């Protein structure tokens, strides 16, 4: 059984954690995040965040580890940030951005234009002879993952040639074609 909830979360220098009325606020150099919590106790002691539970019910055990992981993600996000990189694999697949507007050419008859949240910074890298790469950066891990999943959902990689939008480093299960 996992005991991840018992481990303290170290608060790095420059990060402040405030707890009031079931709401945790974490502030750092990259931004500010808030999270509601219930059924568990969260307290700050000696530069660490401790998550405690009052009983050993299944629900409390599950939320104990969950809120500890959420606290770790929030503290890491406001101090260092989170980054996701997507790779466009396919002939003629392109990505460009102007500010918070991302324009994708993914083999459809039209270009896909996506307005991103102001918390997410987007950067597109296009080098000759290499696949275009989209870099998403933010202090909110959930938001970066959600935006990356939405972009990937426009053209998921197919199993025969691997064409589509995939995460950098993602391993795809490939299938043999008809001739095999």
Q: So what's the pLDDT on residue 2?
A: 59
pLDDT tens per residue across span 128-174: 999 999 999 999 999 999 999 999 999 999 999 999 999 999 999 99
Q: Average pLDDT, whole number, for the chain? A: 92
Distance of CA 118 to the CA centre of its chain: 15
Q: Compute the distance between CA of residue 23 and CA of residue 55 in angstroms, rounded to an integer.
A: 21
**In this prediction, what percent of the chain has a pLDDT beyond 70?**
98
CATH of domain 4-79: 3.90.930.12
The residue among 22 and 133 whose pLDDT is bigger is: 133
* Residue 180: pLDDT over 70: no
Fold agreement (4-79, 82-167)? yes
* Residue 1: pLDDT over 80: no
Q: Compute the distance between CA of residue 28 and CA of residue 128 in angstroms, rounded to an integer.
A: 38
- Tally the residues of the chain: 180
Identify the CATH homologous superfamily for domain 82-167.
Ribosomal protein L6 (3.90.930.12)
Q: Compute the distance between CA of residue 59 and CA of residue 26 in angstroms, rounded to an integer.
A: 25
Distance of CA 153 to the CA centre of its chain: 15
Q: What is the mean pLDDT of residues 19-48?
A: 91
What residue segments make up the domains of the chain, in order of their start? 4-79, 82-167
pLDDT tens per residue across span 84-102: 999 999 999 999 999 999 9
């Amino acid at each position: 059984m996992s005991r991840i909830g018992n481990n303290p979360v170290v608060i790095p220098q420059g990060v402040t954690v405030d707890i009031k009325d079931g709401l945790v606020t974490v502030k750092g150099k990259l931004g500010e995040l808030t999270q509601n919590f219930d059924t568990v106790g969260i307290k700050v002691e000696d530069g660490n965040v401790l998550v405690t539970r009052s009983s050993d019910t299944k629900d409390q055990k599950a939320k104990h580890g969950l809120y500890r992981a959420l606290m770790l993600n929030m503290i890491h996000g406001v101090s260092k940030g989170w980054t996701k990189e997507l790779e466009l694999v396919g002939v003629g697949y392109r990505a460009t951005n102007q500010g918070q507007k991302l324009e994708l050419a993914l083999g459809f008859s039209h270009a896909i234009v996506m307005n991103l949240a102001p918390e997410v910074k987007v950067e597109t890298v296009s080098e000759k002879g290499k696949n275009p790469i989209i870099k998403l950066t933010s202090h909110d891990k959930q938001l970066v993952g959600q935006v990356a999943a939405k972009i990937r959902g426009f053209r998921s990689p197919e199993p025969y040639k691997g064409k589509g939008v995939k995460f950098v480093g993602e391993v795809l299960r490939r299938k043999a074609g008809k001739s095999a």
